[in-house]
Structure 1
Amino acid sequence: MLKGQSEIRIIWLMVLTIVAVSAWFLKIEVLTYVCGLAFVMSVMHYVDALQKPLIDISAQQHLTLQFTSKVPLYISSLLAVVGMSLQWGWLIGLGLTCWIFFFLRWLRRLERSVQQLQEKLHHVQQQPITPENSTAVISNSTQPLSETHPEMSLIQQIKQWIFQGNPVLKAATVVLVIGIILLLRFATEHWQVSLSLKLAIVAILSFVLTRIGVFLQNKNRSFALALEGLGLAGLFLTLFFAYYNHVIPNIYVASICFAVVMALTLTLSLKQQSIELALMAMVIAAVAPFTLPVRAATAVEFVAYYWVINFCVAILTTLRPWKILNQIAFLMTVIVAGSYAFIHGQTQQHDALAFLVLAHTAIFIWLGFRFSQLIAQKDVQQFQLKPALDIALIFGAPLVAYTFLYLIYFEKTVWQASLSLAFAVLFAVLYLLAKRNQTVKIISQSYFSLMLIFITLIPPLLLQDEWSVMGWAVEGVLIFVFALYQKSTVSRYLASALLLVAGLSSLYYLFESAHFPSLMYWVLSISYFAVVLLANAHEKFQQQLTYSSITFLSMLLLSATAMQLFLWVDYLEGSSQYIFTLILMSGLYVILNSVMLWRKASWSWLIPKWIGVIPLYIFALFFVIHRSENGSILWLNTIEQAGIFFSGALLTWLWLRPSVGLKLEKEWVSLGTLLSLSLMSLSILPALPYISVVILPLAFCAWCFSQKENLNWTMFWQTRSSLALILIWIVCSQLFSQQPFQFYLLPVLNPFDLISIAILFGFIWMLSLQLKQGMDRGIVAVLSVLSLLWLSSYVILRALHVYLSTPYNTLEIWQNSTIQLSFTLLWVSLAFITMSYATKKDMRSLWILGGSILMLVTLKLVLLDLSHIGTLTRVISFLGAGFVMLIIAYIAPIPETKALNH
């Protein structure tokens, strides 16, 4: 696993490098910068993943190793990003140079730590391996893969065939097949000899190659099979080129030749017991039509041709239980032939295509029956149906076939119902036949289930227009209830399919109907709600739900909520219809949540509930944006303002109840609760939305801080989602707020500055919690420094704008000497306060934080202020900063390493 992860990392870095270089030559500098930044962060994460095990091992061995902080790397990356955004090439170069230097130093110290650890572990005596253990290891390692894993999936079998044996030989075979295709195309277009002679030469060579492979079968089986497969591929391809270039006069002669080649393939595969040869021939035959240089086949020709391939596969797998041939044939038919027919099919071809679909279905029904019969004959007790591809031939083939027929006769309900009845009768007959043979008891039960499935499809099909959608939905609910009581997995899958068909069909009638089909969507949304609630209504129902079932229920609740929002908006009238809809849906969820908790529903309800409320937040966001004007929220009346507050309160209650949800998935609960509190908070000061939106989250943060002995509430703020939300506010509020000077009295003594400072304290407290959770110290330090400098700088920037009319939130601030002087003095003062306090309290990490601020001040002086050294304010910047640095150097030296644990 570790080796695979390392290979993936190397491939990822190579891809980033290739994309970055290509974008640079294509003059897409932005993409180059993004790839470069991703490369830098990926390399740092990669090396950090190597360093963490060393730290753990050194702690176990009581060995003191010296590791380098990653703070300089983050600062260097930040310099490069700033240079990219400002298009300062010299700053980009400086940032990259510093990053390379600190990264190489990090690697050097990491290498030194590895050497120390090796020397330490060299003296540790290793446990000897006993002969019994070594024998077990050897016996297990030499056991064939087919014996250790007798039931492999399709993907595992393909990996085994590709990567085991002689991969060079297989790669050479693929390359030679491609070469034959190119040779045939070149010969068709350029060679001067007759086309008949060209193709005859290639066909003779292919036959000779096949004969040589048969001759070498007893000497080198794998090499012989490769030659036979290559020769048969050449015969197939030559035949196709000959027919579509009119060298073979008609379809009948071509069909005879194709039958001969196929018969040869079948004979060699069965005689040599070679599934590899059969698989190679089948894939080449399926790919052959796409190699033609002249014309494309019609949909009927293509699907008919694939039927011939499937017929040959049926002959092989009737005699041999080669499951992988059945699986690949089914997938190729559905994906390749189905897609081709969908793209190239025409209306006048529908009847012919429907007949061919039925012909394919007959083959795969037989394959499913025969394969199960062959397996059951070996050991009836051990035989059981496997999920996914194993069961696809029994259930998937007829259901997929009927789906194609349903689409072909989409608007012909009588035809659809008749076909469903025909399938039901067919599987009823097969059930009666299979039931007589006790060796295929399970397959008979499958046929019985399929018969019931097709019978249940008939009633909704006979309904007209939107009523058919309601029929699908109601029948899906009834079958889902039946499945829960009977513990029937097949019935549950059938109900899910009916509900899915109902949802997809509703989209068709939504766009095709002349009026909005409100009744259809009422029934559909209520059905979706009913399924989710019934699935969680009883403990024995909840135990039947798997992860896939929970995902499906979540999508149902998401769709039902979106439909209900539109339906209530359409039903209600007046200017307050949107806010009433939001209140109504929030209250509905609170009621349903209370009922589910009373029924002791757990994670099978919580996850769909969390997914289902997403449309409510999107709806509320669009409503708030619609009511925004010039940076303020203008409610039409007090009902809307109170309604937003009440809706946010309901949603907050929904997220916090039950409290066990916080332990189950704290990221989701934290995100939802903060968004709900923010929605409530928007109703407090609508004229100042950026201040209003964080009032209640800040109050909640203060309350949690006072309850810090309660781990549940502390856990709430240990999430990355809450950290990301606060960080977004820190950046966006300062940049985009249009009322930062409302009620401005003095610096700090104004609403915006007070809220910004409160957010800063909350953010730093959250970072300290993240540090305890194992977040990288370098990231915590960088975020702390940047947030402190960002918010404090904006406090000064607003004060200068009020009193000295300096620029605000424009690029001119970087050219204004007064602003730059103020920034320099502010930053160096913050560094002085931080480092002095750290020295006094022997807090080495806090001192390094202040030192980072001081380093940023130095970089600012050298990179920015030095370019305007002629102005008085720049001179004062250097003198003031230098003077404070002298004081720091005297009274605030770095604490000793022994104080690190403080």
Structure 2
Amino acid sequence: MAIIVAVIVGAVIGGFTGEFFGMWVGAALAWLGVRSRSQQRELLALRQALATIEAELRAFAATRAAAPAGLADAVEPAPGDGAPLATAAPAAMPTEFGNAAPTLAPATPAAMPRAEAASALRDGTSDANGPADAAAALPASPALAAGAAAPEAGPAAPIRTAPRRDWLAPVRDWLFGGNTIVKAGVAILFIGLAFLAKYASENVRVPIELRLALIGGVAVALLVVGWRLRARRPAYAHVLQGGAIAVLYLTLFVAFKFYAVLAVAPVFALMVAVAVLAAALAVLQDARSLAVIGAIGGFAAPLLVSTGSGNHVALFSYYLVLDLGIAAVAWYRTWRVLNVVGFVGTFVVATAWGVLAYDPARYASSQAFLIAFFVLFLAILLMPARRLVGAVTAEAEGVAAAPRSDAWVNGSLLFGLPTIVFALQVGLVRHMEYGAAISALVLAAVYVGLASWMRRHPRLGLTFDASLAIGTVFLTLVIPFALDARSTAGAWSLEGAALVWLGLRQRRVLPRVFGYVLLLISGLAMLHGHDRYGAAERVLNAYLFNGLLAAAACLAAAHFVRRFADRVASRHGEASAEPLLIGLATLWLVATALTQIADLVPARLRLAALLASASAVALLYTALRVRLAWPLIGWPTLAHAPLMLLALAVGTVVVESPLARGGWWAWPLAALAHLGLLRLVVPAWPQVVRRAVHAAGAVALAGFGALQGRAWSAALDADLASAWPWLGWFVVPAALLLWLPRPGAARLWPVRAEPVAYARSAAGVIAGALLLWSLVGNVASDGSAPPLPYVPLLNPLDIGVGIALAAIALWLRSAASGLPAARALRVTVLLVGVATFVWLNAMLLRTFHHVGGVPYRLDAWVDSLAVQTGLTLLWAATALALMWTAARRALRPAWVAGAALLGVVVLKLLIVDLSGSGTVMRIVSFIGVGVLMLVIGYVAPLPSKGAADAAR
């Protein structure tokens, strides 16, 4: 029969083309039919052989389990059976014989066909000629039981690891499973008929009615043959019928659209009839592939023969009929792939038409079609639920009902339908004020109504949750869309989070993958919107709302991954999605804040706005960390303390009060966020991280106090040469440096949480900052402090520098308390001694400036003989004091340092002071240095090594 049909089809096509192409097609189809029949026989034989072997293995395992203890080991092989048949232990026996067949050691010639049959099944081939040959090759189960004895002792059966799941297997099975060649042949035939119809309309002078009738006749012939083969060759029959249905769709559409052979009413009725026929055939034969092939062919028909006329009413009426047929099938069968084909086919074409051809003049018809498609696919989604509701009714009447299952829920329709419909709706109403907001409100009402209906049915718990969530999302979107209609990023992110949730709930990977992809690419939509529409002009704008929605969606998806951690396959690395989604959410929040600040905030307030945004994010994450007991959500807050330090660094560069330009409200919020982190989040972190955050907070406090103190003191005199601007810097840092190492501080929170971080790390940074301040302040300021007069050592600047250096010295002593005394002294001299030496020199220079009238400049110092003499004597006196102290304490390194300074003095005398030997100042220099050197030689001899070792 298949050969006859193939020849007929080939003859018809050959008649149309006028070539031998039709005969080649007929021969190919004939060969496919014969080959498919041979493969069907071989497959049936293999299945029967497999069933026989599995039954015998099951019987053997039952016999072994029922035998008394020790009896199985005592069984001897029957006479003539030869060696016993070795088998694996029943516990190690694979559950699917096709995955890993047990290895049977042949004991008798009768056992050899069994092993060969098992090997053939594993290889996918068989030498058997049919079921009878396969059955004859297998001994009965009693013989197997009698000829098999368990070995007394032997190595344990190897543990078989579960094979890795192939995620492309379903797609590959659908494309290449069964009779792949037949599927490809029908697809090629369908495309050929489409091209034939188009070619014939342009070149062949045959009445169009006859051409269409012949093509329809071929389709009917294929349909009849497929129906007659439905029992013997179901897979082959389904392919033939699917191709025939697609050809009928094509024929009716061309007859109506291009040649007007049929009027609107008849062609519509016939299309409805074909749709009903396809649905009926699919349901009667339980043929999912038939329904899918018919649907694909129906959706492809207008695209293949399109002339670009743009008659959208005819196009979408035709698609509506196709979708009604899919709905009819969905009433009886829950076929996901068919529903998805209809959904994708309809809305892909609708989206393409909307982008390329829509204009507001077509609003009424377009809106009607969009509503119709939405209602239809919503009904298709909910049709399987009626069986669950019926199960609840039956259970209430005392009839056993099936347990609840969420497998019927189609995530693509549940979440994709409202998303794509809303996107298209926004395109339709973009010329209307508040059109998007009203549309969001209507969709929210629809899904909230669905949720209220599902609430009465416990078995619909999943769809109740999803519908309520979707309704809530659209209700939330009403406000932003009333202000701005740019919503793609937020909508995609929310759909992505919903798909992640559904995929985790149903233990399905594909929805989760789609959800992750949507969450990742939603940022592209936001970038496109910003490039197209420009900067935001209002505080409440689409960028703000959609950025916050996208961040919320990423956080929700991360929480779902954490909540369903037991359902995430670790071998796929999906567990890492949680921190990645948290990072993506943080990126969304940062990008949204930066965009809003750049577009709407004046330049003078941007630093405060950035700090406040970072603190708000930290407070949000802290609340989530505590409320949800969510450890990972707290880690992004690790950046809050460094951001505070960065803000202070910027304030230091611009030299202004941290409370200025909005800082009066940003810094209290930052302090609150930091204290909340220290109390609620930081204790769970590793010790090194805890210490770093605590120390950063203390340093930030010192920096804030320094900036604010500088602002207050600068109010007295803003001139940088004055002492007042410099004095404000040191007060708070010096006070903290004196207080943090004290035992009383360690008893107060937050110092008691990490006392080392405050007394060592933070105090060390503050000490370094004070040291740098003393050096810069001594060089930059001339010590004037109007209205106060300048008095060496008693002026405000020298007092401040002295306090700072004393605080540093005291801290160094306490920090080095665990070291030997000599070493602690060396550390103090090394760090504080240099700063003290610079301070003494600066004090001398300031004295010459205020008393002697020497300008406070480097060139004036070099040209002034009085300054040079004063420096020489000061250096020599410093060398004397250093060497004398070193000699008394037996500190050879300190004595060597003093001697080096004295050498510098001598060089200065020879190089600088000698040039003015005739002046009084130069004479004073030489005499003074000479006397000091004599004193040094007398009171400060070089300590011996023995004395230095004894001092240690």
- TM bin, normalised by shorter chain, reads 0.3 to 0.5
User: TM-score when scaled to structure 1?
Assistant: 0.43
User: TM-score when scaled to structure 2?
Assistant: 0.41
Q: Which has the higher contact order (CA 8 A, sep 6+)?
A: 1
